[in-house]
Chains A and B, each alone.
Chain A
Amino acid sequence: MDSIISCHECDVIHRIKALPGKGTAHCIRCGAVLYKHKPNSLDRTLAFAVAGLILFILANSFPFLGLKIGSQVRETSLITGIYELYIQGMQVIAILVLLTTVLVPFTQMLCLLYILLPLKFHRLPKGLPRVFRFFNNMGPWGMMEVFMVGILVSLVKLAGMAKIIPGISVYAFLTLIFVLAAMTVSLDSHLIWHIWGENQ
């Protein structure tokens, strides 16, 4: 049954065919993307995940933004805002922000490392289906790129009243958003399930 697939949006059955380089297969009825040709998916995704982890550690261990009014300077890291919300009594919002900007992206990268590193050396990681399903379920909750827009909006908001000093973290964070996007795009989930199915 590995040679046919049904559209996840309208359920029509398609036969899986080999695609030309960088080709995309669409559903003939509703036009949804069925699968894509992704060259070197395992290696590329693994590389992006490793790069992402390094950037993530950088982004979270240096000052993020500084605010200067007169002689007062306040430096903050990514976590400061979450901490401040928490002690202001907004625990739910604090946890939501912590999840969407820190925990989910971090866990996603760890999950991919756990799956891809053994596969790279032709071994099957233990409990692959569970880990990979967990990874996929987290998908909608990683919101780093949205956070970036939030940063831009706050910068413009504060630009009139104070001097903003961007920290090292901001650059790491900016790069991280692109690396995470590349990681998601290069990941071929059909391939991973296929490898798992073949080796059971």
Chain B
Amino acid sequence: MNHEFTTAKAAGLISCHSCHLLCESGKRFVERVCPRCGAQLHDRKPNSIARTWALVLAAFIFYIPANVLPITTVISLGKAQSDTIMSGVIYFIHTGMWPIALVIFLASVFIPLLKLLILMFLLVSVQRKSSWRPQERTRLYRITEIIGRWSMVDIFVVTILVALVHLGGLATIHAGPGALFFGAVVVITIFAAMTFDPRLIWDTEEATYE
């Protein structure tokens, strides 16, 4: 890479995370408030790496009960049948509705895992001060930001099923504990993507040419 790029940090400026105004970075803490919108100024997201690691690990732990515990229980004519995320997917494959099986598998199993693996890879690469393909790594980060929300599909499906299938003794659907952990995974991974600062990927770039 060449030297032409000047970063705000190198120029002694801080970009306000809220209104994107470039501000002079004051020496004292009290000066670090954006003169335009009043937000706290940070040159990088505070404690980005430690916080993202904590959230990623927490999400990994919750990912296990989310997949092992039942997400729904159907009570039909006195009989109860529990379903986990994967058993739901397998059921759809068996009944030939593979597009739905694919949607649920992608949204509930694949996307959360992919997101966590990408974030771990980015964290490790930043910590090892890697200069490997920063542009592609930034693109990976962008993907994690966009796809995370789609994991909520299964939670919404459970909500709708619980509302609709409520036919007294004939059939009712209850949400299972898996749904709770799964919801936690989605929320925690969204926070994890928010706390990671993609500018850290590029900071090694400058350090190499200083």
Q: Please indicate which of the listed interface residues A133, A153, A156 has the most CB atoms of chain B within 10 Å of its own CB.
A: A153
Q: How far is the CA of A97 from the CA of B97 in the complex (A)?
A: 26
B157 touches A133 (CB 8 A): no
Partner of A13, one of B8, B36, B152, B180: B8
Residues of B bordering A, CB below 8 Å: 5-9, 11, 13, 15, 17-23, 36-39, 95, 97, 100, 103-104, 107, 134-135, 138-139, 141-142, 148-150, 152-167, 170-171, 174-175, 179-180, 183, 187, 190, 194, 198-199, 201-203
B155 touches A96 (CB 8 A): yes
Q: A74-B167, A154-B164 are in contact. List 9 more A-B contacts (CB 8 A).
A: A9-B138, A9-B142, A13-B7, A93-B179, A93-B180, A96-B187, A153-B153, A154-B157, A196-B19
B36 touches A11 (CB 8 A): no
Q: How far is the CA of A185 from the CA of B198 in the complex (A)?
A: 23
Is residue A8 contacting chain B, with contact meaning CB distance below 8 A? yes
CB-defined contacts of B174 to chain A, threshold 8 Å: 88
Q: How far is the CA of A81 from the CA of B21 in the complex (A)?
A: 43
B21 touches A11 (CB 8 A): no
Question: How far does the Cβ of A128 sit from chain B's closest Cβ, in whole Å?
Answer: 8
29 contacts between A and B (CB under 8 A): A6-B13, A10-B202, A11-B8, A13-B8, A29-B5, A30-B134, A30-B135, A31-B138, A80-B163, A81-B163, A84-B163, A85-B162, A88-B162, A88-B174, A93-B158, A143-B152, A146-B149, A149-B150, A150-B152, A150-B154, A150-B159, A150-B160, A154-B157, A154-B161, A156-B100, A158-B165, A164-B164, A193-B19, A196-B37
- The closest CB in chain A to the CB of B198 belongs to A9
Partner of B21, one of A90, A92, A193: A193
CB-defined contacts of A164 to chain B, threshold 8 Å: 164
Is residue A82 contacting chain B, with contact meaning CB distance below 8 A? yes
Question: How far does the Cβ of A52 sit from chain B's closest Cβ, in whole Å?
Answer: 19
CB-defined contacts of A156 to chain B, threshold 8 Å: 97, 100
Residues of A in contact, count (CB < 8 Å): 61
Residues of A bordering B, CB below 8 Å: 1-2, 4-6, 8-13, 28-32, 65, 67, 69, 72, 74, 76, 80-82, 84-85, 88, 90, 92-93, 96-97, 100-101, 129-130, 132-133, 136, 140-141, 143, 146-147, 149-151, 153-154, 156-158, 160, 164, 189-190, 193, 196-197, 200
Question: How far does the Cβ of B67 sit from chain A's closest Cβ, in whole Å?
Answer: 16
Q: How far is the CA of A8 from the CA of B36 in the complex (A)?
A: 17
A140 touches B165 (CB 8 A): no
Question: How far does the Cβ of B174 sit from chain A's closest Cβ, in whole Å?
Answer: 6
B180 touches A11 (CB 8 A): no
Question: How far does the Cβ of B20 sit from chain A's closest Cβ, in whole Å?
Answer: 6
- The closest CB in chain B to the CB of A98 belongs to B159
Question: How far does the Cβ of B39 sit from chain A's closest Cβ, in whole Å?
Answer: 6
Partner of B5, one of A28, A190, A197: A28
Known contacts A100-B152, A196-B37; is A151 also within 8 Å of B21 by CB?
A: no
Q: How far is the CA of A31 from the CA of B163 in the complex (A)?
A: 44
B156 touches A133 (CB 8 A): no
CB-defined contacts of B148 to chain A, threshold 8 Å: 140
B164 touches A150 (CB 8 A): no
CB-defined contacts of B194 to chain A, threshold 8 Å: 140
Question: How far does the Cβ of B11 sit from chain A's closest Cβ, in whole Å?
Answer: 6
